[in-house]
Amino acid sequence: MTDKLPPNLLALFAPRPPLRWLEHPDHAPERRRTAPIDGVAAFLPELQHYKETDKYEPTESWLQARDRKKREKNEAVQELITEGPKNYKPNEDPNIRGDAFKTMIVARLSYEADERDLEREFGRFGPIERIRIVKDSHTHEKPNKKKKPHRGYAFVVFEREKDMRAYTIFGAAALKLALS
């Protein structure tokens, strides 16, 4: 019945050519050129020498590193708590001037505000001895930090303590009413 098929279909049923003969990849045991197979006992002296000369230096896991960093941070905080008050000498600080009882801190200051604005706002309550807006003195250490004119807080030193107290009583209440 296959003799009635056209030649292109008969070609599908034709046998493939025989496979090419290759020599076997392995050799007979008498023709091998490899070292004789032996046990592990020959390597034991070499292993003993390795054990004697090898130095074990353990590495720190991420858990140990986390615990170490936490411990170092706690030690630094404890040192700051114990040594900080001993080294703190506000009377010798050149940036501190004026009486603390006449000084008021102004926080959350707008970055557009300057000394004149503070003088205009706080001068209503009494004469002002000095105004200091705190600027960032470490800008050279942080080159990628966004540049701002100041840190956002200031110190206002009044000439009299009662003027500062007048602002804290009346000025804060007036400011609260203005904001609400």
Tell me the mean pLDDT in the region 92-97: 74
Pick from 59, 78, 175: which is nearest to 124 by CA? 175
Six-digit token string for 28: 């007979």
Q: Which residue has the tokens 């070292």?
A: 35
d(CA 114, CA 106): 12
Check: CB of residue 158 under 8 Å from CB of residue 102.
Answer: yes
Q: Is the predicted pLDDT of residue 1 greater than 80, yes or no?
A: no
Q: Which residue has the tokens 């046998």?
A: 15
In CATH, what class is 100-179? alpha beta
d(CA 38, CA 87): 74
Q: What confidence tens digit (pLDDT) does each residue in 58-89 have? A: 899 999 999 999 999 999 999 999 998 888 87
DSSP 167: I
Is 0.75 topped by the overall pTM? no
d(CA 82, CA 75): 11
Q: Is the predicted pLDDT of residue 173 greater than 70, yes or no?
A: no
Q: Is the predicted pLDDT of residue 93 greater than 70, yes or no?
A: yes
Q: How many residues does the chain have?
A: 180
Label residue 172 by pLDDT band (50, 70, 90): low
Q: What confidence tens digit (pLDDT) does each residue in 3-51 have? A: 788 888 888 888 889 999 888 888 777 787 777 777 888 889 999 999 9
Q: What confidence tens digit (pLDDT) does each residue in 157-168 have? A: 999 888 888 777
Query: Cα-flanking dihedrals φ and ψ of residue 58, to 5°?
Result: -70, 145
d(CA 128, CA 164): 9
Q: How many CA atoms lie within 13 A of 175 on its CB side?
A: 9
Please give the single-letter amino acid code of residue 152. G
Q: What confidence tens digit (pLDDT) does each residue in 99-155 have? A: 888 888 888 888 888 999 999 888 888 899 999 998 877 666 777 777 788 888 999
Pick from 77, 170, 88, 87: which is nearest to 126 by CA? 170
Q: Is the predicted pLDDT of residue 177 greater than 80, yes or no?
A: no
